[in-house]
């Protein structure tokens, strides 16, 4: 009798425990379902937020943002003035008005026979002390009068990169090359902001009567300085503005001080090396690329 009662009691306890466990499982299940139900819309909402642009938020396109930043910097760097020299662009950089670019129609003036006597181009090239095998750049090569002279100096083991932004100028030089057996000149169509030269590839970059008409001198110089090998040189040949006797329009002349002011900016990594004053009308202001 006692054993029967106790077995009934055990049975009851067992049933109670079982139903307790069952209830627990049921309540946990509904809790999880509830939690999931609460969570799901939140996850969906987050995904939806990512897809739907907030109409109050302006979308930032990285390309447009970069372009806007460049524009803002250019605005800061270059100023336009209404009152300016008629031979200039009306665009000013570090206090200097940028000259108009000489078009290819001016090529006969570059080729004029009296140029050697007036500018002593042979002496100019000699002063650069080019070495056979060097890779040099004639930036703003025009019809290539000086390019040809440089090609002779660096010889067949060297190379001259003739850079210009006017295809017509490069074509004039190309025509000359067809008639002669010259293999060491490469024609490069540059852009207003880029000479399109490889970094650290150039021993000497020359600009004869060119720099003052760069539309974007800062941007050009950033790339040109990078194109020089460390220890490489860059030479600016400009009509002397200090000398009123030099018969050239004012915006096509530059003082030595102005050249130094513009080229000496730290970001170019160029150090003034020498100024050669032996030519009748121009000075040759030479800088050297130093390790940055
Ligand atoms: C006055 S010409 C001098 C040509 C040559 N250096 C000479 O003395 O016979 C100036 C040349 O510079 C070029 N030029 C102007 N801006 C330039 C730039 N950003 N990059 C390359 N060439 C440029 C012009 O197209 C033009 O052919």
Reported as a pLDDT band with limits 50, 70 and 90, residue 5 is low
Q: Which of 153, 145, 255 is nearest to 204 (CA)?
A: 153
Higher pLDDT, 24 or 138: 138
Residue 145, exposed/middle/buried by CB under 10 A (0-12, 13-18, 19+)? buried
- Please name each of the domains of the chain with its CATH number: 102-289 (3.40.50.150)
- Residues 98-120 have a mean pLDDT of 98
Ligand 1 pocket check for 99: Cβ under 6 Å: no
User: 219: which 2 tokens?
Assistant: 């941007």
Please give the pLDDT value at position 124. Answer: 98
Q: Relative to the CA of 207, which ligand 1 atom is closest? A: 6
Instruction: Find the 208 Cα to ligand 1 centroid distance in Å.
Output: 8
Rounded to an integer, what is the distance from CA 192 to the centroid of its chain?
Answer: 10
CB 213 within 8 A of CB 100: yes
Distance CA 238, CA 9 (A): 115
User: 42: which 2 tokens?
Assistant: 């939140």
Please give the pLDDT value at position 58. Answer: 72
For ligand 1, atom 19, which residue shows the shortest CA distance? 192
Alpha helices in the chain (DSSP H): 2-51, 62-77, 107-110, 115-119, 121-127, 145-154, 167-178, 217-227, 256-263
Instruction: Find the 233 Cα to ligand 1 centroid distance in Å.
Output: 19
Angle, helix 256-263 to helix 217-227, in steps of 10 degrees:
70
- Residues 19-47 have a mean pLDDT of 42
Please give the pLDDT value at position 26. Answer: 39
Please give the pLDDT value at position 143. Answer: 98
Distance CA 13, CA 282 (A): 113
CB 88 within 8 A of CB 207: no
pLDDT(46) > 80: no
Distance CA 160, CA 147 (A): 7
Reported as a pLDDT band with limits 50, 70 and 90, residue 55 is low
DSSP bridge pairs for 254: 240
User: 18: which 2 tokens?
Assistant: 């079982």
Ligand 1 pocket check for 262: Cβ under 6 Å: no
Ligand 1 pocket check for 248: Cβ under 6 Å: no
- Residues 114-139 have a mean pLDDT of 98
Ligand 1 pocket check for 226: Cβ under 6 Å: no
Residues 6+ apart with CB under 8 A from 20: none
- From 122, 140, 166, the mutation candidate for ligand 1 (largest count of ligand atoms within 8 A of CB) is 140
Q: Relative to the CA of 169, which ligand 1 atom is closest? A: 27
- Judged by DSSP in three states, 194 sits in strand
């Amino acid at each position: 009798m006692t054993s029967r009662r106790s077995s009934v009691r055990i049975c009851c306890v067992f049933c109670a425990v079982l139903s307790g466990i069952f209830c627990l499982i049921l309540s946990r299940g509904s809790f999880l379902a509830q939690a999931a139900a609460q969570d799901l819309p939140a996850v969906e909402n987050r995904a939806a937020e990512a897809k739907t642009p907030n109409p109050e938020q302006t979308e930032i396109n990285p390309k447009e943002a970069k372009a806007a930043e460049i524009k803002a910097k250019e605005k800061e760097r270059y100023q336009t003035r209404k009152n300016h020299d008629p031979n200039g662009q009306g665009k000013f950089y570090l206090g200097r008005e940028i000259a108009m670019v000489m078009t290819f129609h001016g090529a006969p003036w570059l080729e004029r026979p009296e140029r050697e006597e007036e500018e002593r181009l042979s002496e100019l090239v000699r002063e650069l002390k080019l070495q056979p095998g060097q890779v040099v750049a004639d930036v703003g090569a025009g019809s290539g009068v000086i390019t040809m002279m440089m090609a002779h100096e660096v010889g067949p083991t060297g190379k001259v990169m003739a850079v210009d932004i006017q295809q017509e100028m490069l074509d004039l030089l190309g025509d000359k090359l067809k008639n002669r057996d010259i293999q060491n000149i490469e024609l490069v169509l540059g852009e207003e902001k880029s000479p399109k030269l490889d970094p650290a590839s150039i021993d000497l970059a020359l600009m004869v009567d060119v720099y003052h008409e760069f539309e974007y001198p800062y941007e050009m110089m950033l790339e040109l300085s990078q194109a020089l090998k460390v220890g490489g040189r860059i030479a600016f040949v400009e009509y002397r503005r200090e000398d009123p006797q030099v018969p050239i329009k004012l915006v096509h002349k530059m003082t030595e001080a102005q050249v130094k002011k513009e080229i000496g900016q730290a970001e170019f990594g160029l150090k003034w090396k020498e100024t050669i004053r032996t030519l009748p009308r121009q000075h040759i202001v030479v800088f050297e690329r130093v390790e940055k």
